[in-house]
Amino acid sequence: MIKRIYRSMYATVVLVFLTCIIAHAQERIVTGTVKDKSGEPITGANILIKGTTEGTSTDVNGAFSIKPTEGSVLVFSFIGYTSQEIIVGSQTKIDVVLDEDLKTLDEIVVTGYGEMRKADLTSAQTSISSKDISRTVNTSIDQAIQGRAAGVYVTQNTGAPGGGVSVNIRGIARLMVAMNLCM
C-alpha cells in the first residue's frame, strides 16, 4: 500500500516537472535590434506577433524584447520603410535591417498625433527641410522654426538666456493684435 502511494506521488511529481519544462520551453524571450541600411538604429519601430495584438517597439538604440512562441511570425514595421515578416524558430536573437520605401515616403505626413495620407489633409501644412535648419546654429526647436514656417510667430519673452518663448500659430496672433487695437 505504501509503495502504491509512493509510486503515485512519484508519477505526479514527474508529470508536474514535465509540464513546467514544456511551459517554460514555449515561453522564451527573443531580443534583437532594428536598423536601417546605413546601420543606424530605428527608434520606435513596431514589432508585432502576427495574428495577435501582442507587440512591442524599439528603444532609442533600436533594441527590442518580445515573448513569441516557436513558429509564430514577427512583423517588423516603421513609417517610410517596407515591413518584414520573420518566422521565429529556435533563435533567441533576431537583428533586422529595414529598407526604405520611397514610394510611400512622399505620401505620408506625420502630424503631432499620428500620421495621415497627403490626400486626407484638409488644413495647410508647412515643411522645414533639414538643410534649412542646418544652415544656422539652433539650440532649441523654437529657434529652428523661427522665421521659416508661414503663419508661425516665435518671439522671445525676455532677453535673458534660456528665457521663455512664445509660439503663436495662425489666427491667434491676429486675434491678439485686434484685441490690443480695440483697447
For the cut 70, the answer to whether the pLDDT of residue 14 exceeds it is no
Angstrom distance (rounded) from CA 153 to CA 169? 6
Instruction: Answer left, alpha or beta for residue 9, where phi above 0 means left and psi between -120 and 50 means alpha.
Output: alpha
114-134 tens-digit pLDDT:
566 666 666 666 677 778 777
pLDDT for 183 equals 40
CATH 2.60.40.1120 domain position(s) in the chain: 2-102
The pLDDT tens digits of the residues spanning 153-178 come to: 777 777 777 677 777 777 654 444 44
Note whether 109 and 115 are within 8 A (CB). yes
At residue 108 the predicted structure's pLDDT band, cuts being 50, 70 and 90, is low
- Output the pLDDT for position 125: 67
Does the pLDDT at position 95 exceed 90? Answer: yes
Average pLDDT, stretch 69-76?
89
| Short-list 61, 97, 59, CA closest to 76 | 97
- Name the pLDDT band for 180 (thresholds 50, 70, 90): very low
Alpha-helix residue ranges (DSSP H) falling in the chain: 2-26, 102-105, 130-134, 141-145, 172-182
93 confidence band (pLDDT: 50, 70, 90): very high
Return the residue matching grid coordinates 534660456. 162
| 20 pLDDT more than 60 | no
C-alpha cell, 109: 505626413
**Whole-number pLDDT of residue 175:** 45
Query: How confident is the model at residue 34, as a pLDDT?
Result: 94
Strand partners, 170: none
Q: What is the pLDDT of residue 127?
A: 73
Mean pLDDT of the region 80-85:
89
CA distances from 28 to 40, 92, 129 (A): 27, 8, 44
Give the CATH class of 2-102: mainly beta
Q: pLDDT at position 172, please?
A: 54
- What pLDDT does 166 receive? 78
Cα(183)–Cα(181) distance, integer angstroms: 6
